[in-house]
Structure 1
Amino acid sequence: MSTTGSDTDGADPFWREVERLRAAGVVGHSGRLREVFDYLAQRGPDAGSATQAEIAQDVFRQAEPDAEDATVRVYIHRLRKKLEDHYRTHPPQPGAPMLEIPSGIYALQLAGAEQEQSGAEQVSTHFAAPSGSAGSRALPRSWLAFAALALLAAFLGGLLLSRASAPVPNALWQPLIESDRPVLLVLGDYYLFGEIDPVRPEEGRLIRDFRVNSAEDLLRMQEADPARFGMAEDVGLNYLPFQTAFALEQVAPLLAASQKDVRVIAASELTSSMLSSHDVVYIGLLSGMGLLEEIAFAGSTLRIGDSYDEIVDRETGQIWTSDEARRLASPAFYRDYAYVARLRAPGGALVMVVASERITGLRGVGAIVAAQDIGRELSGPAAAPAFEALFQVTGQQGADLSDRLILARARQ
């Protein structure tokens, strides 16, 4: 790819930064990625977006490019990530030029330069709800972030206001109340990534893939399977199941009675080092536990099934499976299962787990752990330093109708 012509004008910030990146080897000194970079640079800072067909013909020498061929999209994505990673690890001085390839555009531009409004530009902040999610309206990322912050702010405000009239915690919570450690309230969250086709940006969508739980996981999947993940983008989004709020409503007053510091974090933010200085209360689905999953079930006679819809007894082989997924849309009754445990983690943290297989159990488990008579219901096991219990929650279209204890054991 030629680099002669206007891109030799070192006085212009655009060309100066192009030459700096070339000299630093940010996009390599040869190969297809460098050729794509040189092609976009040669078009200049004011060029409009190239088409997929133009890049396929001029760079990849495809005389009749296949519209379904993802090669161009994959290389554009890789180049975009190369630039983003470089500026993240080598932050420029204030006012220094930066180059970017905006989402949905096949053009190299100075960061912050004015761009024409387009549907593709809007896709970077506007996604349709994923298939199977509650609701189909697209929500701007700024509103999603605001909603999450508002939920946490409301919870923390309610926690402070409720301290004066907080109920007496039941026996389940007494070891946590008596501990001299601060509390981490850990909420089970899920990583989302975007899939954006620059040719059809209006079809952009958010995806939850259980194999991809972080931006680092996404990069690994892109390297391993570029055809499948070539259009994937880290959009900085995680989500919490709405039903977490029902469990929070019940647990917050119990934590208020402790009169100690409570910090709210997502499960994806929890690190092993935090367990050496804090106690932990986890609220969420079993599938959202992250680091806590291995810790919680290491000394248990139970384990989580492969789909997270099952809890399996290691000793007897009995399986308790939620059938919510098959019956949620109909008025039929179904069974979900909630898991409650107290244990001591490596590092000394006292860990309370308030979790469930599906959302119906998550709605009902808060009331279960807050009930004053739960100590009598669990009897001996709850008096042990570590225990676990399993509750069957009967539901109908997402509502929790009744519950009953089906297993309670002391554990390691």
Structure 2
Amino acid sequence: MTDAVSDCNVGYKKEVERLRAAGVAGRNGRLRDLFDYLAERGPDAESASQSDIAVAVFGEAQNDADDATVRVYVHRLRKKIDDYYSRHEPSSDALRLEIPSGIYGLRPMRRAGASDVSSLSQGAVVPRRLVAIALVALAILCAGAFGLGRSLERPGAASALWQPLLESERPVLFVLGDYYLFGEIDPLIPDEGRLIRDFRVNSSEDLLRLQEAEPDRYAVAEDFGLNYLPFSTSYALSAIAPVLEGNGKTATVIAASDLRPDMLNRFDIVYVGLLSGLGPLEQQVFAGSGFRLGETYDELIDRESRQIYASDEARRIAAPVFYRDYAYLARFIAPGGAKVIVVASERETGLRSLGPIVASAELPEKVAEVVADGAPFEALWQVTGQQGADLSDRLILARTRR
């Protein structure tokens, strides 16, 4: 046991020097001072307190210690270290340093394999609530993947909606509307952590920027590298994917957060998700649309008539009452030449209903008319739901776009 601890300490010191030589925390400045302070405390030291760091690193008096500043700098250092290991090979003994969530200290971690990481020292306590949420998310994704796999065994005929993609020489990207989550964990009460979806925060870079700009609001926020997909996305995708796959069209699935502008020069796009998850596609979708988004992503406003189509799913889904949601379909050509089809809705119920509609070999008559014209078009459905179930749908309009 003593030899193992000694080896751990030696490896820890070597890895500290490796990160210093690489300039992970910079050559000087507060971030480097913070790294040196935590490194000198050693791998087995108790977690430093915010006030300890404020005094030792930032030179603040005990009574004037700015906890928000400490949290922001610890977050920045954690991000710098994680980014370094994501781009570089591990050390010869597979050792790496981490600042675990809820811990103000450098901890050595030995990577035994690609998915097997064991701690050599004190690690972070993972809140039980976060573990439960992660397990639920994993179950949802597995269920969606299972449904998609089964549906691919039953290829169906494709309507005129999909013909431009089937005739195109470009491969297809299924782009799924995903959402970035960050956590808030009090170092003193880690079990009371929570996950947050904030429309201002769509990436770890956004989180870091807001931590620096608004430390009082985002100081305790932590980047967990989590994104989630709405449950209805798996249903819609499992209905649509066989139409393309079954007709010999190559398709790849990516998250909207991974979509890059240059991809529209090489792929055709099928977006599946909520309107709030369009991400980099949002501007192009509504540039030629007769609709605009309202103050929230739960409403579409007709530019000409000013009619508002607002989902009330969020307010009523928990009760056994009927509510309305709206599903949106569009097809157009993006500036990069990509043929884009958007299968979206304001909330979950509309997307669950729209998937089978657009996957059918026969489209509603008015939709079929604008599709056959070959011009860019859009259509809107009102979907009646109850506690997440899509009970009925009604086509409101189908028209050409600019």
Identical positions, percent: 58
Shifted more, 57-66 versus 397-406: the winner is: 57-66
Q: Are the structure 2 counterparts of residues 105 and 346 from structure 1 closer, same or farther at C-alpha, using a change threshold of 3 Å?
A: same
Secondary structure of the corresponding residue to residue 340 of structure 2: strand
Matches within 5 A, 1:3-402: 12-18=10-16, 21=19, 26-28=24-26, 31-56=29-54, 58-59=56-57, 60-64=59-63, 69-89=67-87, 91=89, 93-95=91-93, 98-112=96-110, 114-116=120-122, 120-123=124-127, 127-128=129-130, 138-140=132-134, 144=137, 148=141, 150-151=142-143, 153-154=145-146, 157-163=149-155, 166=156, 168-385=157-374, 386-402=376-392
CA drift of 1:147 comes to 5.5
CA drift of 1:108 comes to 2.3
Distance 1:379 1:161 in 2: 27
Distance 1:261 1:29 in 2: 48
> Residues 241-297 of structure 1: CA distance to partner in whole angstroms, max 9, x if unpaired?
111122223213322332121111111122222222222211110111112222222
Contact kept in structure 2, 1:127 and 1:204, CA below 8 Å: yes
User: What code does the residue aligned with 2:289 have?
Assistant: S
CA drift of 1:92 comes to 5.5
Distance 1:301 1:241 in 2: 26
Q: Are the structure 2 counterparts of residues 63 and 160 from structure 1 closer, same or farther at C-alpha, using a change threshold of 3 Å?
A: closer
CA drift of 1:357 comes to 0.6
Distance 1:153 1:326 in 2: 29
CA drift of 1:210 comes to 0.7
> Residues 303-360 of structure 1: CA distance to partner in whole angstroms, max 9, x if unpaired?
2223111111122222211121222222232211110111111222211111101111
Distance 1:180 1:17 in 2: 50
CA drift of 1:238 comes to 1.0
Distance 1:22 1:246 in 2: 49
Q: Are the structure 2 counterparts of residues 12 and 310 from structure 1 closer, same or farther at C-alpha, using a change threshold of 3 Å?
A: same
User: What code does the residue aligned with 2:121 have?
Assistant: Q
C-alpha RMSD of matched pairs (Å): 2.9
Distance 1:245 1:277 in 2: 25
Corresponding pairs, count: 384
Contact kept in structure 1, 2:151 and 2:239, CA below 8 Å: no
CA drift of 1:212 comes to 1.1
Distance 1:325 1:53 in 2: 42
Distance 1:160 1:38 in 2: 55
Shifted more, 232-241 versus 221-230: the winner is: 221-230
Distance 1:55 1:179 in 2: 59
Shifted more, 364-373 versus 86-95: the winner is: 86-95
Secondary structure of the corresponding residue to residue 201 of structure 1: strand
Distance 1:89 1:259 in 2: 37
Shifted more, 256-265 versus 51-60: the winner is: 51-60
CA drift of 1:94 comes to 3.1
CA drift of 1:220 comes to 1.6
CA drift of 1:53 comes to 4.4
User: What code does the residue aligned with 2:195 have?
Assistant: L
Secondary structure of the corresponding residue to residue 357 of structure 2: helix
CA drift of 1:361 comes to 0.7
User: What code does the residue aligned with 1:308 have?
Assistant: Y
TM-score by length of 1: 0.82
Distance 2:109 2:338 in 1: 45
Distance 2:260 2:147 in 1: 23
Contact kept in structure 2, 1:52 and 1:199, CA below 8 Å: no
Distance 2:269 2:194 in 1: 34
Structure 1 gaps, min length 5: 1-10, 129-136
Q: Are the structure 2 counterparts of residues 37 and 267 from structure 1 closer, same or farther at C-alpha, using a change threshold of 3 Å?
A: closer
As a proportion of its length, which structure holds more strand?
2
Secondary structure of the corresponding residue to residue 122 of structure 1: coil
CA drift of 1:63 comes to 3.3
Distance 1:226 1:183 in 2: 42
Shifted more, 237-246 versus 373-382: the winner is: 373-382
